[in-house]
């Protein structure tokens, strides 16, 4: 009975998390806000990021003793999915990634600022494209830092004495090159000048944090592909051609059904991975679960959003029509924290024999 009650309580917690997301990202999306913020610096609304901090979302995975909510990946994936569904441009997942590292540091003040959303702290760990590794070279350029133009501080994993230390660098003195991304956000390339040491060894923590960020990104993709599909269904039910609603054409019904299957499979993969992490999966088991979900989400997300464009016909290809915003967002998120190809390779290397 206690297990049943626990499951019910968990389901209620996740439902409440989803409901709370409507304050920032309405279920139908806020495309007007997304359009107003794109291709401008910092690419998001700092006030909304602070609101996310006030609601406890940034610290969902940080223990309560350190100012977080101490909730599981089920809750975290639920809020990430809603942010994807609502096209929220705020760097919630990158911020959640950073506070996971800061929770292992000795800088409580910076952790507090990051948890509250008063400061966006970005982690600069990549030194080449499409990798989940943090080489930690002290002078190697750090690339593909999400929403770098809005960062107040950069966290720099640096390899020192055989361990991966965590250092910090202020954005005010950083040499950062900003590039625009497809959906209207930005990424940065940082020439690091590592500052104060925040933690002596985050080797184990950063691996877990990267896996969690990859899974949360998969959940974001799930949300945006689901929203794009809902928009497309509405179009199919209202658009007329040859005197008939095009949604009554069998060929289009078959294509829509195929997309619905892809969304269902992605949801199953994301929820299964979240459950595995919440059950304490470690090592190869954790990596395989995350990689299966991220590879599935990245591939299915691109398939669904592209097909949604096509099902809209010519209007779907115009920038003025909203369905294209979901494709643009998916193009960016599909490669963040590992592409489909990278995660397929990692899954094959870590999954138990016979698992697909």
Q: Is residue 92 part of a domain?
A: no
Is beta strand 240-241 parallel, antiparallel or unpaired with respect to 197-199? unpaired
- Residues 6+ away with beta carbon under 8 Å from 34: 87, 88, 89, 184, 325
Q: Is residue 285 part of a domain?
A: yes
Residue 156 and residue 168 in contact, taking contact as beta carbons nearer than 8 Å:
yes
Would you state the pLDDT for residue 330? 98
What phi and psi values does residue 28 have, to the nearest 5 degrees? -85, 0
Would you state the pLDDT for residue 129? 95
Q: Based on DSSP, count helices (H) and strands (E) in the chain, helices before strands.
A: 11, 9
Would you state the pLDDT for residue 95? 98
Would you state the pLDDT for residue 240? 82
Domain span at residue 312 reads 205-350
Would you state the pLDDT for residue 354? 60
Q: Is residue 236 part of a domain?
A: yes
Q: Is residue 44 part of a domain?
A: no
**How many domains in the chain?**
1
> pLDDT 10s per residue in the chain (356 long)?
334 457 777 788 788 888 888 888 877 777 999 999 999 999 999 999 999 999 999 999 999 999 999 999 999 999 999 999 999 999 999 999 999 999 999 889 999 999 999 999 999 999 999 999 999 999 999 999 999 999 999 999 999 999 999 999 999 999 999 999 999 999 999 999 989 999 999 999 999 999 999 999 999 999 999 999 999 999 999 998 888 888 888 999 999 999 999 999 999 999 999 999 999 999 999 999 999 999 999 999 999 999 999 999 989 999 999 999 999 999 999 999 999 999 999 999 998 876 66
Q: Is residue 295 part of a domain?
A: yes
Torsion of CA 193, 186, 149, 87, to 10 degrees: -130
Q: Is residue 310 part of a domain?
A: yes
Q: Is residue 212 part of a domain?
A: yes
Retrieve residue 40's tokens: 């401008």
Would you state the pLDDT for residue 2? 39
Residue 271 and residue 77 in contact, taking contact as beta carbons nearer than 8 Å:
yes
Would you state the pLDDT for residue 18? 86
Q: CATH number of the domain at 313, please.
A: 1.20.140.10
Q: Is residue 234 part of a domain?
A: yes
């Amino acid at each position: 009975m206690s297990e049943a009650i626990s499951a019910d309580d968990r389901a209620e917690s996740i439902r409440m998390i989803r409901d709370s997301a409507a304050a920032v990202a309405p279920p139908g999306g806020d495309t007007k806000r997304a359009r107003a913020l794109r291709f401008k610096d910092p690419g998001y609304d700092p006030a909304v990021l602070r609101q996310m901090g006030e609601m406890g979302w940034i610290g969902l995975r940080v223990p309560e003793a350190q100012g977080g909510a101490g909730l599981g990946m089920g809750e975290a994936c639920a809020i990430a999915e809603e942010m994807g569904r609502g096209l929220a441009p705020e760097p919630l997942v990158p911020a959640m990634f950073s506070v996971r590292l800061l929770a292992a540091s000795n800088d409580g003040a910076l952790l507090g600022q990051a948890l509250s959303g008063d400061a966006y702290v970005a982690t600069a760990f990549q030194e080449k494209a499409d990798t989940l590794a943090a080489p930690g070279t002290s002078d190697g350029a750090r690339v593909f830092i999400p929403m770098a133009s809005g960062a107040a501080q950069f966290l720099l994993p640096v390899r020192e004495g055989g361990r991966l230390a965590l250092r910090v660098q202020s954005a005010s003195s950083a040499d950062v090159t900003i590039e625009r991304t497809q959906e209207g956000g930005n990424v940065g390339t940082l020439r690091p000048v590592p500052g104060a040491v925040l933690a002596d060894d985050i080797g184990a923590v950063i691996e877990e944090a990267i896996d969690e960020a990859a899974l949360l990104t998969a959940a974001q993709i799930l949300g945006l592909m689901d929203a794009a599909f809902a928009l497309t269904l509405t179009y199919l039910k209202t658009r007329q051609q040859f005197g008939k609603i095009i949604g009554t054409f069998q060929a289009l019904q078959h294509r829509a059904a195929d997309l619905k299957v892809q969304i269902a499979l992605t949801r199953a993969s994301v929820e299964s991975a979240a459950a595995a992490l919440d059950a304490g999966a470690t090592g190869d088991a954790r990596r395989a679960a995350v990689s299966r979900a991220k590879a599935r989400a990245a591939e299915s997300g691109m398939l669904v959003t592209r097909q949604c464009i096509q099902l809209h016909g010519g209007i779907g290809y115009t920038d003025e029509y909203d369905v294209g915003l979901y494709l643009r967002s998916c193009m960016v998120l599909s490669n963040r924290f590992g592409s489909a190809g990278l995660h397929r390779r990692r899954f094959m290397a870590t999954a138990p024999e016979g698992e697909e």
